[in-house]
Amino acid sequence: MPKPTINDIAKALNVTPSTVSRALAGNTRVSIATRQAVMEKAASMGYERNVLASSLRKGSTDIVGMVVPRINSTFFSTAICGAETALRSAGYNLIICQSDENVSTEQDAIASMLRNQVAGLIVAPTTSTTEADLLKMLPKHNFAVVLLGRTCGNISSVVADYFSGACQATKHLIQSGYKRIGLVHSGVQATNIIGGYQKALHDNGLSADENLIFAPYLTRSDGRRVAEKALQLGCDALYCDNNYVALGAIEYAQSCNINIPAQFGIVGTGCEEFIEFVSPHFSSLKLDALSIGSKAAQLLLDIKNEEQTKQNNIVIPMTLSL
């Protein structure tokens, strides 16, 4: 049986199709009685609004697209929750694509969302995505875009305060008695992370050795490899911008019968709850992923509503959990 159409409703009520269309859209030019009659008839006939056709007419939908490297990451899944809650309360739905840390896949996902008339985009770029890649992928005018975790050109963004966080983590290791501290980062926010790390060393009279900066590393197995290199270079501590890398480093140190924290110090970064159960315990910089996602969605809404007309880069503080 074919789906009922606006014409079917109009014929049943002896009104014009344009009257039915306006009534379904809640247009006040149609009387309350007619609007109610149309809504009741539409419900009884099982009419479903053609969202795609409506979106084509308006040039956008009530759907916001979000592209992240990995959905199974605790950080990104939590950020998605924050964004979705904020968007839902404003009448928008969220669709998600993952880039798998691949620039080409990221580009295809963004292009697909744009073709499907999404109302706006929240993008967490891959670690390999350059500023030129982003500027090529994203619309240049009159479109709401917010970057999550990265800054780029004149595009608004929401990021963690990696500079202050790296400085805080490195300072904690110095105050704990470590002298030859290495840095492990993923490549994202590298300038801020390295800057914060080097500032802490300088402020405490320690020289920065570029040989002790390791990148890009993201995974637990990466952590084991980088810990081996760090120990060969005489490191007595590592600040890692990723808790999984920190966990891998701990595993390698333990396999060498190196006591943590007595002989080797570790500070990680993230929002994973598993660190509470890791033995030996290690300190970690807390990423407020829920707030980052929520703020990104709210900033996107402000841009769409023209409440935010200039570039805005929101920085979310990080806290050290000892």
Domains of the chain and any CATH numbers: 6-49 (no CATH), 59-155+289-321 (3.40.50.2300), 162-286 (3.40.50.2300)
Amino acid identity of 20?
V
What's the rounded Cα separation, in Å, for the pair 177 and 174?
5
pLDDT tens for each residue of 235-245: 999 999 999 99
Phi, psi of 187 (to 5 degrees): 110, -25
Question: What is the pLDDT at residue 53?
Answer: 55
Confidence at 22, pLDDT banded by 50, 70, 90: confident
Strand order in the sheet with 265-270: 213-214, 181-184, 237-240, 265-270, 283-286, 319-321
Give the confidence band of 43 by pLDDT, cuts at 50, 70, 90.
confident
The most distant pair of C-alpha atoms in the chain lies apart, rounded to whole Å, by 86
Q: Choose the weakest-confidence range: 27-36, 74-83, 207-216.
A: 27-36
- C-alpha torsion 56→59→64→70, nearest 10: 80
Q: Facing residues of 268 across strands?
A: 284
Check pLDDT > 60 for residue 139. Answer: yes
CA distance 255 to 243: 18
Q: How far is CA 317 from CA 8, 72, 158, 287, 313, in A?
A: 57, 24, 11, 8, 13
Q: In this model, does residue 51 exceed pLDDT 70? A: no
* Between 52 and 106, residue with greater pLDDT: 106
Judged against a pLDDT cut of 60, whether residue 285 lies above it is answered with yes
pLDDT at 58 over 60: no
Element containing residue 254 per DSSP (H, E): helix 243-255
Can you give the pLDDT at residue 8? 85
Report pLDDT digits (tens) over 174-222: 999 999 999 999 888 899 999 999 999 999 999 999 999 998 888 999 9
Mean pLDDT in residue range 303-312: 76
Q: Is the predicted pLDDT of residue 100 greater than 90, yes or no?
A: yes
CA distances from 26 to 32, 34, 50, 88 (A): 9, 11, 15, 20
134-159: average pLDDT: 86
pLDDT value at 54 more than 70 = no
Q: With pLDDT > 90 as the criterion, what percentage of the chain qualifies?
A: 63
Write down the pLDDT at residue 213: 96
